[in-house]
Amino acid sequence: MKKLFLAVLVLFTASQLWAQDNSGKKEDRNFRIPLIGEKAPHFTADATTGVINFPEDYGRHWKILFSHPQDFTPVCSSEILELGYLQDQFDKLNTKLVVVSTDPVSTHIQWKKALEELNYKDRGTVKIKFPLVDDEYLTVAKEYGMIHAPTNSTRDVRGVFIIDPDDVIQAIYFYPMKIGRNTEELIRTVTALQVVSKNNVLTPADWKAGNDVLVPYLPAPGTKAADETMKDIYKVAWFMTYKKLNL
């Protein structure tokens, strides 16, 4: 009987220690970032425009998923306003913006209203037409690997995912909390991705719309493809061939 009592006591003590150890265990925040060339993870969430299913609701558009850690923060507020002023340019690029923040949609509505009343940079007020998505429970942050493990934070990192009409991720950016993102660079990147996809070319460093592009390869001399490709091309070196592209 004494041995049985001791055995039960040992098992009870071990179970209590296991329970205490697990109750204090921190959540694993090393969530995987989906990579370029992979399908964009799906999510359904409330937003300032209603419930959205991403990326399905946006069909054959290009999409930019733009994340924020919190509403009413100064850096993030400036970014939302810049995106708002560039909405027409994104529309011309067949590109839809979706902004994610870890605050609830009720706070998003207040933030959106406050931003739309600002005369930022003396450019007048702007209506924010793109959705601000509720990610209060970090569902999107986890799906897109945006939990900041090094700081043990439950807030998502300021990530950007550019997604093509086939819902494949084509570009990824991550920014620190204190540095505002370059919204013009988003337009440049989407433009470059569309030019590359349509024309089977490459873009050099610092390329902008209207600049010459790089030719990835030259077809065999004397062929029809060679005659067409050779138009408006010039070589900087045997390994760098440029082409004038009429957009």
Tell me the β-bridge partners of 243: 213, 233
Neighbours of 91 (CB within 10 A): 13
State CA 213 to chain mean position distance.
26
Phi and psi dihedrals of 233, rounded to 5?
-115, 155
Give the active site residue among 47, 64, 76, 195: 76
- Give the whole-angstrom CA distance, residue 126 versus residue 87: 10
Angle 62-67-73 (CA atoms, 0-180°, nearest 5)?
Answer: 135
Q: Is residue 32 flagged as an active site residue? A: no
Structure tokens at 18: 């296991």
Cis peptide leading into 34, omega within 30 of 0?
Answer: no
CB-CB contact of 69 with 62 (8 Å)? no
Among 6, 58, 36, 43, residue whose Cα is nearest residue 161: 36
Let me know how long the chain is: 247
- Give the whole-angstrom CA distance, residue 66 versus residue 62: 13
- Give the whole-angstrom CA distance, residue 220 versus residue 159: 43
Residues designated catalytic: 76
